[in-house]
A and B are shown apart, each in its own frame.
Chain A
Amino acid sequence: MELLIKNGFVFDPINGINGEKMDIAVRNGKIVESVNDRRAKKIDATGLTVMPGGVDIHCHIAGAEVNTGRLMRPEDHIKDTERKTTLTRSGVGYSIPSTFTTGYRYSRMGYTSLMNPSMPPLEAKHTHEELNDTPMLDKASYPLLGDWWFVLEYLQKGDLTECARYVAWMMGTTKGYAIKIVNPGGLESWGFGRNVHTIDDKVPNFDITPREIMCGLAKVNKMLNLPHTIHLHTNNLGLPGNYATTLDTMRALESVATDGKPVAHITHLQFSSFAGDDWGSMRSGAEEVAKYINAHSHITCDMGQVIFTDTTTMTADGPFEYTLYQLSGHKWVNSDVETETSGGIIPFHYKRNNAVNATQWSIALELALMIEDPWKIYLTTDHPNGGPFTAYPKIIGWLISRKARMATLKKCHKKAQKKSLLPTLKRELSLYDIAIVTRAGQAKALGLKDKGHLGVGADADIAIYNVNPETIDIARKYKTVRRAFGNAAYTIKDGKVVVKDGEIVQHVDGRTIWLDVQTAEQVKVDEEMRRRFREYWTVEYENYPVTNHYLKISDPRTIKADV
């Protein structure tokens, strides 16, 4: 199958292409130098914007927690339904769409790859079963490892090598892609209803601190040569004054950064950038956080933008969800997982006329605008925590247009308006910047070499939007851009046209990407290991791994570790 996309304005930041008019050639699902002009199927992209397919570094779309969110919120689905067609399965939205609908909606926006960031290893099969039913996209998942007893025990002993071996084993066993750390030490504490409050608090029953967990795993990450860094949700997330913890965290990680390369990705940074002493005095800590990130090169992050809508918060940070429950009194799910992690879910409505919510909205944009290098901060909502992914076009609007964000700010709570830094921020992102924050930067941070760009050899995952950068001023016509990014003119997955004019025209299944990390010496699976298994978990060793049966299309990436 050959395809030729002719004459579009191409934005391909990894290859330094900034809106040049050019053709993109595709053969057998890959970008190639050229194709036979006569034989190839042609797409006339004249006057359109061409980008690599969108990449989402952090969105909760599958697994136990997401599904419990779906189960507990029929009111979320009832007004947002998708009919079955001859091509597509039916489903529901809104903030926690059913699996098929998730796939279709992302695809309609030109996205082609997603990272599902929160996989309890014990329930990894569940995650993968759902990913199999999430079409149109390539997917990967991050196993939650920061409070796993094996990690706590080996790091406590100072045995990084053994820790690394077990982490490598866990990647293959859960079919995972990166080390996810959530409120390090806090989740184990939450097992008995407690939490940690600084990065130097001792974890109850263990002789270890959050600092040691983060730095230990960041080192392990390097020893294993994993393509992504540790993926970190900080301590004290969502609490006033936590920007100080975030600064402490980033400073602590400096010790691991020796070669100028990123060693940690701090996810949904907005939720970790609150200043103030309590909810009454809560304000933005974005300036301090951005300043630090601008001056250092070892951190990448994503926004965690808040959208003014009704959504569902869900995270492995059980104690944080408990705080939200106490604040809201709303229906509350807590779900702790033996030996590994915890979790919680709360429905949440972010309101413009709520000072805290409006400040959160502002913080995320402040961060995205004040962190100067777009390769360091990416567009996310921490779907569905800050709002559903379907709001991405709105965020693009705010980023490219000062007019757009001032229009929203004007409608916000007065106190939040007064304190917002947005009026002082003149920066407006270009389409090139947007291509970085929605695909190129994310792919680069993930170490996905065949994604996020349109160079020869890349996966032919391509999005075409109905935006003509020559004829419109995107900052003024942000609504046109918003519409275009919400309904791709074309989405091309592995060289196949799957969306046309915002409608699905072909149902395809994506691959599941995972790491096969090869260590010189492997974890020994002997009687001792089996015994330990029986002691730690309530399942047998044999029944724990995610076997190939659970991957519809398996895409392993072999990694050679240094240990």
Chain B
Amino acid sequence: MSTTVNAVTCPVCGCLCDDIELTIENGVIAKVKNGCAMCESKFLSYKNEHRNKTPLVRKEGKLVPVSYDEAIHKAAEILANANYPILYGWSSTDCEAQRVGVELAEEVGGVLDNTAVVCHGPSILSVQEVGIPTCTLGQIRHRADLVIYWGCDPWSAHPRHLERYTTFTEGRFEGSEWKEYMNKVKASAGKKKLLSLERREIVKRKPEPIIEKVTVNKPPETLSKAGRKLIVIDVRKTMTAEVADYFIQVQPGKDYELMLAIRALVKDHELDVDQVAGVPVEYLEELVDAMVNCEFGVIFFGMGLTQSAGKFRNVDVAISLIRDLNRRTKFAILPMRGHFNVTGANTVSTWQSGYPYSVDFSLGYPRYNPGETSVVDVLLRKESDAALIVASDPASNFPRKAVEHLVANPLIVIDPHMNATALLGDVVFPAAIVGIEKAGTAYRMDHVPLPLKKVVEPPEGILSDEEILSRILEEVRVIKSQKMQEAA
């Protein structure tokens, strides 16, 4: 028996494309329409991946299968007895689970943190410093005639970003540049490349090397044309850079300088130097002309800005630049959020606690001081005495010293897959895959909430993050009240 499900939201990246069409055959996803390669691979491989089918608890050094009841009790005991547990992850699960997560963190007096702390944390700090002029992605589709990607490569990391929201979309006031672009490619590239583009495959290739000495070309005439223009600013020539009208290869670590120079030019200041960050000032002047003269411009920025030298200083000046540009025309700026629901994690945490991440509940009320209350810092100071990790794999991306402390203490992991962190865990829960086996809600990178669908059943007996967390919370309360009674 085969059925199709329409308007499925893709639980992979922050684009949260919600037009995916799935064909289900005998309870299994057989076909994926409209998605990019990342999307297809998630929907088609979920069932093949190695998944453990029962909760595991470490006994005498070995992870052994146990019942959910036993694992939940064990996890609750760990959290209820901990003085300063950390509860980390959250960006790849739904808001429904995140809500329970905040409540659990509050109940056990722990530190609640999400993966924003290692990607767009600096962007949030900047918003708290200077605010952010922004908009939903549809505004860009309808109105933007100038799109700038800075320090990000949507072609590889958010493959449908251009075709759904920016350069290659048809809006009310701005058209798509797809045909133009295809003509350009036809003229320059082989048929094979063209076909692969049409199928929107990700062309696997080695990343271009970062070169210290770069030459930047003169801006093309087309930068002053009507219609949408695409500019890419990055340290390496990415796939997105290849399709851009204009690419500026910035010297590594020089984003900040370049942005300051652009900002000065936007304010009509004269620059005393001939070039900035390897870019001749006269080119920059042309670039700034294009920015000031557009009807609606936007800068998307990625980890190239937030995780390179300067971090939140970079984002600060980027946002300040957009503030200045708004005195001349309409301009917006958006971070390219990676995980499909990292935005939701910040959103839920904020409405419940007032703070988007790194929230410390150990004093009984929410406290926020990134750099002190962020999990990596807590781990590096060796202060935590237990951890709960949900839908994330810090063991493979945190600093080594932090991981050492993480695994030195009781570690609970909830994840559909046996990732590196799970292998090191003391209590490990398999979970249903959110957006495939569990319905819920996620927030797109521009804060638009979208429903996630349940399209197939999870493996028999497997619970969702939300259910597991709710049961742990309940059990923690039972244990705590028992302890209180004993004490009395």
Whether A90 and B136, one on each chain, are in contact in the complex, defined by CB atoms closer than 8 angstroms, is no
Q: Is the Cβ of B131 less than 8 Å from the Cβ of A338?
A: no
Interface flags for B370-385 (1: CB within 8 Å of A; 0: not) read 0000000000000000
The residue that A333 contacts in the complex, of B133, B137, B141, B329, with Cβ under 8 A, is: B133
Q: Are A71 and B350 in contact (CB under 8 A)?
A: yes
* B residues in contact with A537, CB < 8 Å: 138
Which residues on the A side are within 8 Å of B368 (C-beta)?
A: 74, 77-78
With A130-B351, A192-B296, A542-B7 as given contacts, are A331 and B129 in contact (CB-CB < 8 Å)? yes
Neighbouring A residues of B355 by C-beta, 8 Å: 71, 74, 77, 92
Nearest CB on B from A129, distance (A): 7
**Do B18 and A92 touch (CB < 8 A)?**
no
At the interface, yes or no: A465 with Cβ under 8 Å from chain B? no
A84: B residues at CB distance < 8 A: 106-107, 361, 364-365
B128-A193 in contact (CB<8A): no
Q: Give the Cβ gap from A480 to chain B, nearest Cβ, in Å.
A: 31
Question: Given that A89-B106, A126-B447 are known contacts, is A538 also in contact with B165, CB under 8 Å in the complex?
Answer: yes
Chain B residues, CB < 8 A from A67: 347, 350-351
- Tell yes or no: A336 within 8 A of B by CB: yes
Residues of chain A lying within 8 A (CB to CB) of residue B136: 122, 335-338, 538
Q: Judge whether B353 and A91 touch: CB under 8 Å.
A: yes
Per-residue contact bits, chain B 3-37, to A (CB 8 Å; 1 contact, 0 not): 00011010000000011000000000000000000
Those of B315-373 within 8 Å (CB) of chain A: 323, 326-327, 329-330, 332, 346-348, 350-356, 361, 363-368
A514-563 interface with B by 8 A CB criterion: 534-543, 547, 549-550
From B7, B106, B128, B141, contact of A73 by CB (8 A) = B128
Known: A67-B347, A205-B173, A539-B18. A338 touches B130 (CB 8 A): no
Whether A334 pairs with B99 at a CB distance below 8 angstroms is no
Q: Is the beta-carbon distance between B134 and A91 smaller than 8 angstroms?
A: no
The B interface is mostly helix, strand or loop, or mixed, namely mixed
Q: How far is the CA of A313 from the CA of B379 in the complex (A)?
A: 38
Min Cβ gap B113→A in Å is 15
Q: Contacts A125-B449, A333-B133 hold; do A92 and B330 have CB atoms under 8 A apart?
A: no
Inter-subunit contact A193/B326 (CB<8 Å):
yes
Give the interface residue-count category, chain B. 35 or more
Name A143-196 residues within 8 Å CB distance of B. 149, 191-193
- The reply on B287 being an interface residue by CB < 8 A is no
Cβ contacts B140-184/A at 8 Å (1 or 0 each): 011100000000000000000000110000101100000000000
Please name the residue on chain B nearest to A329 by beta carbon: B323
CB–CB A334/B134 < 8 A: yes
B139/A540 in contact, CB under 8 A: no
Nearest CB on A from B124, distance (A): 7
> Is B450 part of the contact surface with A, judged by Cβ < 8 Å?
yes
Asked whether any CB of chain B lies closer than 8 Å to the CB of A35, the reply is: no
Chain A residues near B439: list those with CB within 8 A: 549
CA distance A334 to B361 in the complex (A): 31
Contacts A71-B128, A84-B364, A191-B143 known; A543 to B134 CB distance under 8 Å?
Answer: no
Q: Which residues of B contact A (CB under 8 A)?
A: 6-7, 9, 18-19, 95, 99, 103, 106-107, 124, 127-139, 141-143, 164-165, 170, 172-173, 295-296, 323, 326-327, 329-330, 332, 346-348, 350-356, 361, 363-368, 439, 441, 443, 447-451
- Extra 16 A-B pairs, beta carbons < 8 Å, given A77-B366, A540-B18: A67-B347, A71-B128, A77-B368, A81-B365, A92-B353, A98-B354, A98-B366, A100-B352, A126-B447, A129-B351, A129-B441, A191-B139, A330-B131, A332-B323, A334-B135, A345-B131
Contacts A/B (CB < 8 Å), 6 sampled: A74-B355, A89-B106, A89-B352, A123-B449, A333-B127, A337-B138
* Nearest 8 interchain pairs by C-beta: A338-B138, A193-B330, A331-B131, A92-B354, A336-B135, A542-B7, A81-B365, A540-B7
